[in-house]
A and B are shown apart, each in its own frame.
Chain A
Amino acid sequence: MKYLDEFRNAEVAKSLVDRIHAIPLTNEVKFMEVCGSHTMAISRSGIRRMLPNQVKLLSGPGCPVCVTAQEDIDIMLAFARVENVIVTTFGDMMRVPGTIGSLQVEKSNGADVRVVYSTLDALDIARANPEKRVVFLGVGFETTVPTIARSIEVAHDEDILNYSVFLRGKTIPIPMEVLASDPEIGLHGFLCPAHVSTIIGTKAYAGLVEKYHLPCVAAGFEPLDILQGVLMLLRQVSEGRAENENEYSRVATENGNPAALALMDSLFEPVDALWRGIGMIPATGLSIRSEFAQWDAEWIFAEEIKGIVEDLQIQQGSSTWQAMHKACQCGEVLKGKIIPPQCPLFAKACTPQNPVGPCMVSSEGSCAAYYRFER
């Protein structure tokens, strides 16, 4: 595949690894990536094992499904129980456990839940089923959020009124600052996400560099991109620099994608958001502006959802579920405070076949990545 295979060359990878090992390090250095696609690529390619022992690559809150709060997952399950509703979702969400069950369970109980590849597929379902109400579960970071906004824009332009979005989109730079300022984690730099940077522009990390004196390097998802990104970070650390660099210059630019950002801004506004493991972070979530409330599932279904969510919460799950839920360390994993094998449930009570927390469910979750490739 053009512009992919070239970035997977084993010989070049070896040279990059040699260069990384040639950099003199006295202390442990911790870098964090905040993108599930980086998490998966690092685990799959075995990069962690190729690096010097002092270099630690941690995964942060980069998997959108994983950071979605339990309360929000319960609301998603409630939509599946509303009469005449078709729930549409990206596949990763299907098996995430709510307080009771999951979308997969709702589907097997007869709910109409459909996995889509694109928000435009969800719109097609709405067009094809005018008598039904189609709800899209809008989870994602800045890469995905513009595609959600575009579906609402199309629905607006074409007057499609049986389509709506339950929006739990999130933005990543402020949580990065929260983690940068946590002395318990003690980060030395960020490997910044490839495609979030493509949308928001690498300038979004300027504050991290200036305020926290942390090196930032935006890097692509191919093995050579990641190795080169780590090399650039290590060079900054060893030379005492903190700069905002871009390894992924073939796609990500300083200013990102202005058209996508403008659309996001015209339809959505920042709101406080609940992050699993981190808690409430002001202005890191997005909600649909009131002018577009006709496509806001939270507003349209407010009354119908309320009762169902209350019922779900009264049920509280079984005692086994509660005990497991308490022991699950997803929150600590998402902050980079522990790595998955340090969780007492990892690969024992919690496996991809029987996941307890979302980090084991999502194909991009840290626990799933460690389970598959680094056990």
Chain B
Amino acid sequence: MCLAIPMQVKSLEGKNAVVEVEGVERDADVSFLEPLMVGDYVIVHAGFAIQKLDEVEALKTLELFKELELA
């Protein structure tokens, strides 16, 4: 029930955003996360953006995995 996926913010209007993944767009309530910017990645759960995805942290984790692969 706690499943949520990263989606990209396409447009913003007040407490609502249009978010997109793989070409599928839908509305999300962003009232827990202001301020956001178009282009941000957010984690969407049951129609709500519950957190902004920290792209720097994501890249750090992926970097760590890359080192593993080379090791």
Give the interface residue-count category, chain B: 35 or more
Q: Which of B2-20 contact A (CB under 8 A)?
A: 2-6, 8
As a 0/1 sequence over residues 8 to 34 of chain A, the CB contacts with chain B under 8 angstroms (1 = contact) are 010110011001000000000000000
Known: A1-B22, A121-B47, A198-B51. A143 touches B6 (CB 8 A): no
CB nearest to A363 among chain B residues? B1
| CA of A198 to CA of B1, assembled, Å | 14
Q: Hey, which chain B residues are within 8 Å of A199, CB to CB?
A: 50
Residues of A within 8 A of B66 (CB): 12
Q: Given A224-B65, A250-B57, are A144 and B51 neighbors across the interface (CB < 8 Å)?
A: no
Which of A119, A141, A252 makes the CB contact (< 8 A) with B47? A119
In the bound complex, residues from chain B placing their C-beta under 8 Å from that of A36 are 1-2
Q: Which of A1, A15, A35, A37 contacts B6 (CB 8 A)?
A: A1
Query: Does A259 count as interface, using CB distance less than 8 angstroms?
Result: yes
CB-CB under 8 A from B22, the residues of chain A are 1
Which chain B residues border A249 with CB–CB below 8 Å?
Answer: 54, 57, 60-61
Bound-state CA distance A331–B66 (Å) is 41
Task: List residues of chain B with CB within 8 A of the CB of A253.
Answer: 51
Inter-chain contacts of A15 with B (CB < 8 A): 65, 68-69, 71
A238-274 contacts to B (CB < 8 Å): 247, 249-253, 257, 259-260, 263
User: Are B48 and A146 interface neighbours, CB within 8 A?
Assistant: yes
Q: Provide the bound-state CA to CA distance between A228 and B51, in Å.
A: 22
B69 surroundings in chain A (CB, below 8 A): 9, 11-12, 15
Contact between B31 and A143 (Cβ–Cβ < 8 Å)?
no
Which residues from A are CB-within-8-Å of B41? 2-3
A13 to chain B, nearest CB (A): 9
Given known pairs A3-B41, A120-B29, the reply for A90 and B1 (CB within 8 Å) is: yes
CA distance A90 to B2 in the complex (A): 12
Verify A4–B68 contact, CB threshold 8 A: no
The answer on a CB contact under 8 Å between A3 and B29 is no
Chain A contacts of B31 at CB under 8 A? 150, 259
Q: Is the C-beta of B37 less than 8 angstroms from some C-beta in chain A? A: no
1/0 per position for B43-66, CB-CB distance to A under 8 A? 101111011011101101110011
Is B38 located at the chain interface by the 8 A CB criterion?
no
Distance in angstroms from B40 CB to nearest chain A CB is 12
B32 contacts which chain A residues (CB < 8 A)?
Answer: 146, 150, 257, 259-260, 263
B47 touches A117 (CB 8 A): yes
A63 near B1: Cβ-Cβ < 8 Å:
yes
Q: Let me know if B65 and A251 touch, CB within 8 A.
A: no
Which of B5, B48, B51 lies in contact with A118, CB distance below 8 A?
B48
Pair A3/B65 contact, Cβ less than 8 Å: no
Interface segment, A188-196, A209-217, A298-306, A322-330?
A188-196
In the bound complex, do residue B29 and residue A37 qualify as a contact, i.e. CB atoms below 8 Å apart? no
* A3 x B58 contact (CB < 8 A): yes
Q: Indicate whether A295 reaches chain B with its CB closer than 8 angstroms.
A: no
Can you give 19 A-B contacts (C-beta < 8 A)?
Answer: A1-B21, A3-B58, A12-B68, A37-B3, A63-B1, A65-B1, A140-B1, A143-B50, A146-B32, A147-B47, A150-B29, A194-B2, A198-B50, A198-B51, A228-B65, A252-B51, A257-B33, A259-B33, A259-B34
Taking A92-B1, A150-B32 as known contacts, 13 extra A-B pairs with beta carbons closer than 8 A to each other, sorted by chain A number, are A1-B21, A3-B41, A3-B53, A12-B68, A15-B71, A121-B47, A150-B48, A198-B43, A251-B54, A257-B33, A257-B50, A259-B33, A362-B1
